[in-house]
Amino acid sequence: MRTKKKEGTAEAGKAVSPEKAAATGLWSGTVSFSLVAIPVRLVKAVEPGRVSFHLLHNKDYSPVKRAMFCPGEGAAVPPEEIVRGYELEPGKHLMVTDEELESVAPERSRTIEIAEFIDLREVDPLYFDHPYYLVPLKGGEKSYRLLAEALRRTNKAGLAKFVLGEREYLVTVRSKDGALALSTLHYSAELLADAQYAPGKAADEKEKNAVKKCVKEMLGGFTPGKYSDVRRKKLLALLKKKAGGAQVQAPELEGEPAEGVADLVAALEESMSRMKGAR
Protein backbone atom coordinates (compact mmCIF):
# COMPACT_ATOMS: atom_id res chain seq x y z
CA MET A 1 0.00 0.00 0.00
CA ARG A 2 1.13 3.51 -0.69
CA THR A 3 1.42 5.72 2.29
CA LYS A 4 2.89 8.82 0.76
CA LYS A 5 1.23 11.29 -1.51
CA LYS A 6 3.14 11.17 -4.73
CA GLU A 7 4.36 14.37 -6.16
CA GLY A 8 3.42 15.11 -9.69
CA THR A 9 -0.10 13.79 -9.35
CA ALA A 10 -3.02 16.05 -10.03
CA GLU A 11 -2.73 17.66 -6.63
CA ALA A 12 0.57 19.22 -7.43
CA GLY A 13 -0.54 20.98 -10.55
CA LYS A 14 -4.17 21.84 -10.14
CA ALA A 15 -6.22 23.44 -7.45
CA VAL A 16 -8.07 20.34 -6.41
CA SER A 17 -7.10 19.64 -2.81
CA PRO A 18 -9.09 21.47 -0.13
CA GLU A 19 -5.80 23.00 0.92
CA LYS A 20 -5.33 24.68 -2.43
CA ALA A 21 -9.03 25.41 -2.80
CA ALA A 22 -9.02 27.16 0.56
CA ALA A 23 -5.84 29.09 -0.14
CA THR A 24 -7.15 30.37 -3.43
CA GLY A 25 -10.73 30.73 -2.18
CA LEU A 26 -11.70 28.44 -5.01
CA TRP A 27 -14.34 26.31 -3.39
CA SER A 28 -17.66 27.86 -2.64
CA GLY A 29 -20.92 26.05 -2.29
CA THR A 30 -23.58 25.26 0.23
CA VAL A 31 -23.56 23.77 3.68
CA SER A 32 -26.98 22.38 4.53
CA PHE A 33 -28.77 20.66 7.37
CA SER A 34 -32.34 19.52 6.95
CA LEU A 35 -34.14 22.25 4.99
CA VAL A 36 -31.69 25.03 5.76
CA ALA A 37 -29.12 25.83 3.07
CA ILE A 38 -26.27 28.27 3.71
CA PRO A 39 -24.00 29.67 0.98
CA VAL A 40 -20.38 29.44 2.13
CA ARG A 41 -16.77 29.64 1.06
CA LEU A 42 -13.95 27.40 2.29
CA VAL A 43 -10.90 29.19 3.74
CA LYS A 44 -7.78 27.96 5.48
CA ALA A 45 -7.55 27.72 9.27
CA VAL A 46 -3.81 27.18 9.58
CA GLU A 47 -0.76 28.70 7.99
CA PRO A 48 2.55 26.88 8.32
CA GLY A 49 4.86 29.30 10.10
CA ARG A 50 7.77 28.70 7.81
CA VAL A 51 10.28 31.39 7.10
CA SER A 52 10.03 31.42 3.35
CA PHE A 53 13.06 31.50 1.16
CA HIS A 54 13.15 31.92 -2.58
CA LEU A 55 15.17 29.61 -4.73
CA LEU A 56 17.43 31.49 -7.13
CA HIS A 57 19.54 30.44 -10.10
CA ASN A 58 23.18 30.88 -9.04
CA LYS A 59 24.17 32.30 -12.45
CA ASP A 60 21.72 35.16 -12.86
CA TYR A 61 19.95 35.28 -9.47
CA SER A 62 16.57 35.10 -11.09
CA PRO A 63 13.90 33.11 -9.25
CA VAL A 64 13.66 29.40 -9.87
CA LYS A 65 10.06 28.26 -9.75
CA ARG A 66 8.36 24.90 -9.64
CA ALA A 67 6.52 24.27 -12.89
CA MET A 68 5.01 21.41 -14.83
CA PHE A 69 7.41 20.70 -17.63
CA CYS A 70 6.61 18.90 -20.88
CA PRO A 71 9.56 16.71 -21.85
CA GLY A 72 8.07 16.39 -25.36
CA GLU A 73 8.17 20.11 -26.04
CA GLY A 74 10.98 20.95 -23.67
CA ALA A 75 8.97 23.77 -22.12
CA ALA A 76 6.93 24.61 -19.03
CA VAL A 77 3.21 24.20 -19.56
CA PRO A 78 0.61 26.79 -18.45
CA PRO A 79 -2.18 25.53 -16.13
CA GLU A 80 -4.86 25.72 -18.81
CA GLU A 81 -2.99 23.16 -20.91
CA ILE A 82 -2.79 20.60 -18.08
CA VAL A 83 -5.26 17.72 -17.93
CA ARG A 84 -5.55 14.69 -15.66
CA GLY A 85 -4.67 11.34 -17.15
CA TYR A 86 -5.30 7.89 -15.75
CA GLU A 87 -2.56 5.46 -16.68
CA LEU A 88 -4.03 2.34 -18.33
CA GLU A 89 -0.68 0.83 -19.17
CA PRO A 90 2.79 2.36 -19.24
CA GLY A 91 2.71 5.37 -21.54
CA LYS A 92 -0.99 5.04 -22.32
CA HIS A 93 -3.35 7.46 -20.56
CA LEU A 94 -7.05 8.07 -20.42
CA MET A 95 -7.76 11.81 -20.30
CA VAL A 96 -10.31 12.82 -17.67
CA THR A 97 -11.89 16.28 -17.53
CA ASP A 98 -13.04 18.25 -14.48
CA GLU A 99 -16.64 17.97 -15.69
CA GLU A 100 -16.37 14.19 -15.85
CA LEU A 101 -14.98 14.12 -12.33
CA GLU A 102 -17.84 16.28 -11.09
CA SER A 103 -20.29 13.89 -12.73
CA VAL A 104 -19.09 11.06 -10.49
CA ALA A 105 -20.94 12.63 -7.55
CA PRO A 106 -22.96 15.63 -8.72
CA GLU A 107 -24.94 15.68 -5.47
CA ARG A 108 -21.85 16.22 -3.38
CA SER A 109 -19.59 18.43 -5.42
CA ARG A 110 -21.21 21.73 -4.48
CA THR A 111 -23.01 20.76 -1.27
CA ILE A 112 -21.87 19.80 2.19
CA GLU A 113 -25.04 18.12 3.38
CA ILE A 114 -25.04 17.50 7.12
CA ALA A 115 -27.35 14.54 7.72
CA GLU A 116 -26.17 13.70 11.23
CA PHE A 117 -24.68 15.37 14.26
CA ILE A 118 -22.19 13.83 16.64
CA ASP A 119 -20.39 14.58 19.87
CA LEU A 120 -16.89 15.56 18.79
CA ARG A 121 -15.42 14.12 22.00
CA GLU A 122 -16.28 10.69 20.63
CA VAL A 123 -13.93 11.20 17.70
CA ASP A 124 -10.50 9.67 18.26
CA PRO A 125 -7.92 12.42 17.50
CA LEU A 126 -6.36 9.99 15.02
CA TYR A 127 -9.17 10.81 12.62
CA PHE A 128 -8.46 14.53 12.27
CA ASP A 129 -6.77 15.37 9.00
CA HIS A 130 -6.84 19.06 8.05
CA PRO A 131 -8.70 22.07 9.48
CA TYR A 132 -10.51 24.84 7.59
CA TYR A 133 -13.09 27.53 8.26
CA LEU A 134 -16.31 28.11 6.43
CA VAL A 135 -17.23 31.76 5.81
CA PRO A 136 -20.76 32.83 4.88
CA LEU A 137 -21.43 34.31 1.46
CA LYS A 138 -23.86 37.16 0.90
CA GLY A 139 -27.34 36.32 2.11
CA GLY A 140 -26.19 33.39 4.22
CA GLU A 141 -25.04 35.33 7.29
CA LYS A 142 -28.11 34.75 9.41
CA SER A 143 -28.45 31.01 8.88
CA TYR A 144 -24.66 30.65 9.26
CA ARG A 145 -24.89 32.38 12.62
CA LEU A 146 -27.76 30.12 13.60
CA LEU A 147 -25.90 26.92 12.80
CA ALA A 148 -22.78 28.12 14.62
CA GLU A 149 -24.72 29.14 17.70
CA ALA A 150 -26.94 26.04 17.79
CA LEU A 151 -23.84 23.82 17.51
CA ARG A 152 -22.22 25.72 20.35
CA ARG A 153 -25.27 25.32 22.57
CA THR A 154 -25.65 21.63 21.92
CA ASN A 155 -21.89 21.02 21.91
CA LYS A 156 -22.30 18.95 18.75
CA ALA A 157 -20.65 18.80 15.35
CA GLY A 158 -22.21 18.06 11.98
CA LEU A 159 -20.96 15.09 9.97
CA ALA A 160 -21.01 15.18 6.17
CA LYS A 161 -19.33 14.06 2.99
CA PHE A 162 -18.33 16.26 0.13
CA VAL A 163 -16.41 15.92 -3.07
CA LEU A 164 -13.61 18.13 -4.26
CA GLY A 165 -11.65 17.30 -7.38
CA GLU A 166 -11.06 13.58 -7.48
CA ARG A 167 -11.70 12.86 -3.81
CA GLU A 168 -14.59 12.51 -1.44
CA TYR A 169 -13.97 13.86 2.06
CA LEU A 170 -15.62 12.92 5.33
CA VAL A 171 -15.85 16.15 7.32
CA THR A 172 -17.07 17.53 10.62
CA VAL A 173 -18.48 21.03 10.97
CA ARG A 174 -18.33 22.55 14.43
CA SER A 175 -18.55 25.90 16.14
CA LYS A 176 -15.29 27.64 17.07
CA ASP A 177 -15.29 31.16 18.50
CA GLY A 178 -18.41 32.13 16.54
CA ALA A 179 -17.21 30.62 13.27
CA LEU A 180 -17.94 27.31 11.58
CA ALA A 181 -14.78 25.23 11.56
CA LEU A 182 -14.52 22.29 9.17
CA SER A 183 -12.12 19.39 9.61
CA THR A 184 -11.51 16.66 7.09
CA LEU A 185 -11.36 13.22 8.70
CA HIS A 186 -9.59 10.06 7.71
CA TYR A 187 -11.80 7.13 6.79
CA SER A 188 -11.52 4.32 9.30
CA ALA A 189 -10.30 2.03 6.52
CA GLU A 190 -7.27 4.31 6.13
CA LEU A 191 -6.20 3.92 9.74
CA LEU A 192 -3.72 1.17 10.45
CA ALA A 193 -4.03 -1.17 13.41
CA ASP A 194 -1.95 -0.25 16.45
CA ALA A 195 -2.39 -3.66 18.12
CA GLN A 196 0.73 -4.90 16.32
CA TYR A 197 2.82 -2.55 18.49
CA ALA A 198 1.27 -3.45 21.84
CA PRO A 199 3.78 -4.92 24.28
CA GLY A 200 3.33 -8.60 25.05
CA LYS A 201 3.27 -8.14 28.80
CA ALA A 202 0.48 -6.36 30.65
CA ALA A 203 1.32 -3.30 32.73
CA ASP A 204 2.67 -3.88 36.20
CA GLU A 205 0.19 -2.39 38.72
CA LYS A 206 2.81 -0.86 40.95
CA GLU A 207 4.62 0.68 38.03
CA LYS A 208 1.41 2.03 36.57
CA ASN A 209 0.49 3.72 39.82
CA ALA A 210 3.92 5.31 40.03
CA VAL A 211 3.45 6.74 36.52
CA LYS A 212 -0.01 8.00 37.45
CA LYS A 213 1.37 9.82 40.45
CA CYS A 214 3.99 11.50 38.29
CA VAL A 215 1.42 12.46 35.63
CA LYS A 216 -0.86 13.93 38.28
CA GLU A 217 1.93 16.14 39.56
CA MET A 218 2.56 17.44 36.06
CA LEU A 219 -1.09 18.04 35.18
CA GLY A 220 -1.82 21.49 33.75
CA GLY A 221 -3.93 23.26 31.15
CA PHE A 222 -3.17 23.30 27.44
CA THR A 223 -1.54 26.63 26.60
CA PRO A 224 0.03 26.08 23.18
CA GLY A 225 1.37 29.65 23.11
CA LYS A 226 4.04 28.65 25.61
CA TYR A 227 5.87 26.64 22.98
CA SER A 228 7.44 28.15 19.91
CA ASP A 229 9.37 26.80 16.98
CA VAL A 230 13.06 26.98 17.94
CA ARG A 231 14.26 26.72 14.37
CA ARG A 232 12.06 29.55 13.13
CA LYS A 233 13.20 31.82 15.95
CA LYS A 234 16.85 31.13 15.15
CA LEU A 235 16.29 31.72 11.43
CA LEU A 236 14.65 35.08 12.02
CA ALA A 237 17.50 36.17 14.27
CA LEU A 238 19.98 35.08 11.60
CA LEU A 239 18.14 36.99 8.87
CA LYS A 240 18.10 40.13 10.93
CA LYS A 241 21.86 39.87 11.23
CA LYS A 242 22.37 39.17 7.52
CA ALA A 243 20.01 41.82 6.19
CA GLY A 244 22.72 44.48 6.46
CA GLY A 245 25.25 42.39 4.54
CA ALA A 246 25.82 41.64 0.87
CA GLN A 247 22.83 41.55 -1.41
CA VAL A 248 22.25 40.19 -4.87
CA GLN A 249 19.98 41.56 -7.53
CA ALA A 250 17.75 39.55 -9.83
CA PRO A 251 17.32 40.66 -13.46
CA GLU A 252 14.15 42.38 -14.56
CA LEU A 253 11.79 39.94 -16.15
CA GLU A 254 9.51 40.65 -19.06
CA GLY A 255 5.81 40.31 -18.58
CA GLU A 256 6.28 39.28 -14.98
CA PRO A 257 3.73 40.96 -12.73
CA ALA A 258 5.57 42.82 -9.97
CA GLU A 259 5.11 41.18 -6.61
CA GLY A 260 4.38 43.32 -3.63
CA VAL A 261 7.47 44.79 -2.03
CA ALA A 262 8.18 43.10 1.26
CA ASP A 263 9.71 45.29 3.91
CA LEU A 264 12.12 43.03 5.74
CA VAL A 265 12.09 44.91 8.98
CA ALA A 266 8.31 45.04 9.03
CA ALA A 267 8.10 41.37 8.06
CA LEU A 268 10.55 40.35 10.74
CA GLU A 269 8.93 42.45 13.40
CA GLU A 270 5.57 41.03 12.52
CA SER A 271 6.89 37.48 12.78
CA MET A 272 8.60 38.26 16.06
CA SER A 273 5.58 39.89 17.60
CA ARG A 274 3.43 36.99 16.48
CA MET A 275 5.76 34.68 18.31
CA LYS A 276 5.87 36.88 21.36
CA GLY A 277 2.11 37.32 21.35
CA ALA A 278 1.74 33.60 21.17
CA ARG A 279 4.04 33.00 24.08
Mark 193-232 with x for binding to another protein (rule: CB under 8 A) and - for no binding: -xxxxxx-xxxx--xxxxxx-xxxxxxxxx-xx-xxxxx-
Report which of 167, 168, 171 is spatially closest to residue 127, judged by C-alpha positions. Answer: 171
The C-alpha atoms of residue 7 and residue 222 are separated, in whole angstroms, by 36
Q: Say whether residue 141 binds another protein (CB under 8 A).
A: yes
Min CB(141)–another protein separation in Å: 5
Size of the site for another protein (CB under 8 A): 190
In our burial notation (b when 16+ CB lie closer than 10 A, e otherwise), range 92-101 reads eeeeeeeeeb
Selected from 13, 20, 42, 173, the binder of another protein by CB under 8 A is 13
Give yes or no for residue 272 binding another protein (CB under 8 A). Answer: no
At 41 the three-state DSSP class reads strand
**Residue 123 lies near another protein (rule: CB under 8 A):** yes
Among 15, 21, 156, 173, binds another protein (CB under 8 A): 156
DSSP state of 106: T
HSE value, Cβ hemisphere, 13 Å, CA-based, for 85:
12
Q: Which residue in 20, 191, 266, 269 binds another protein (CB under 8 A)?
A: 191
The nearest distance, CB 148 to another protein, in angstroms, is 8
Query: Could you tell me which of 26, 8, 41 has the C-alpha nearest to residue 140?
Result: 41
Alpha-carbon span 213 to 207, nearest angstrom? 10
Q: Does residue 234 bind another protein (CB under 8 A)?
A: yes
Residue 254 CA: distances (Å) to CA of 48, 61, 173: 31, 15, 45
φ and ψ of 140, to 5 deg: -100, 0
Residue 257 contacts another protein per CB under 8 A: no
State the binding string over 92-111 for another protein (x if CB under 8 A, else -): -xxxx--xxxxxxxxx-xxx
Candidates 154, 173, 266, 269: give the one binding another protein (CB under 8 A). Answer: 154
Is 266 among the residues that bind another protein (CB under 8 A)?
no
* 184: contact with another protein by CB under 8 A: no
**Would you count residue 59 as binding another protein (CB under 8 A)?**
yes
